[in-house]
Amino acid sequence: MRDRNELPTPRIEGEILSSSNLKAFTFNDLKNATKNFRPDSLLGEGGFGHVYKGWIDEHTLAPSRPGSGMVVAVKKLKPEGFQGHKEWLTEVDYLGQLHHKNLVKLIGYCSDGDNRLLVYEFMPKGSLENHLFRSVCFISM
């Protein structure tokens, strides 16, 4: 019997990812969408990787020219990250099933060799973390 808090072991990659309602992007798709991951497309970075601004067609979800189509946030995970491939597959599977007005929507993913990327809807006002923990200037008297 499995512990309640333990995630189920993922099935094979194709079975999990093809059963979700997520778009499977190629690495080249996301390179094109983010202008080749150029520094001017970088939105932020953290322990698990970098987040880039990208553009995709609203209907086909194919990469589009910068400034046209739908803006997305592309999270490029570090290959040496703490998360293993099975855990990543499980996370993608669950995130693809979650839909709530207070959650950022996962649009798609890329699993191409050592490259693991997640494509989220773009939040123009920044991350929740920035709003909760932004630095406040204090005036000393």
Q: Is there a contact between 21 and 61 (Cβ–Cβ < 8 Å)?
A: no
Sheet of 42-46, strand order:
23-24, 106-112, 115-121, 70-77, 49-56, 42-46
Q: Is the pLDDT of residue 117 over 60?
A: yes
The per-residue pLDDT for 103 is 83
Q: Is the pLDDT of residue 16 over 80?
A: no
The domains found in the chain, sorted by start residue, are 13-133 (3.30.200.20)
What's the number of CA atoms in the CB half-sphere (13 Å) around residue 39? 0
Residue numbering of the annotated binding site for ATP? 76
Round the average pLDDT of the chain to a whole number and report it.
79
pLDDT band at 2; cut points 50, 70, 90: very low
CB atoms within 10 A of CB 25: 27
Residue numbering of the annotated binding site? 76
Q: Over the stretch 24-74, which tens digit does the pLDDT of each residue have?
A: 999 999 999 999 999 999 998 877 889 999 999 999 999 998 888 999 999
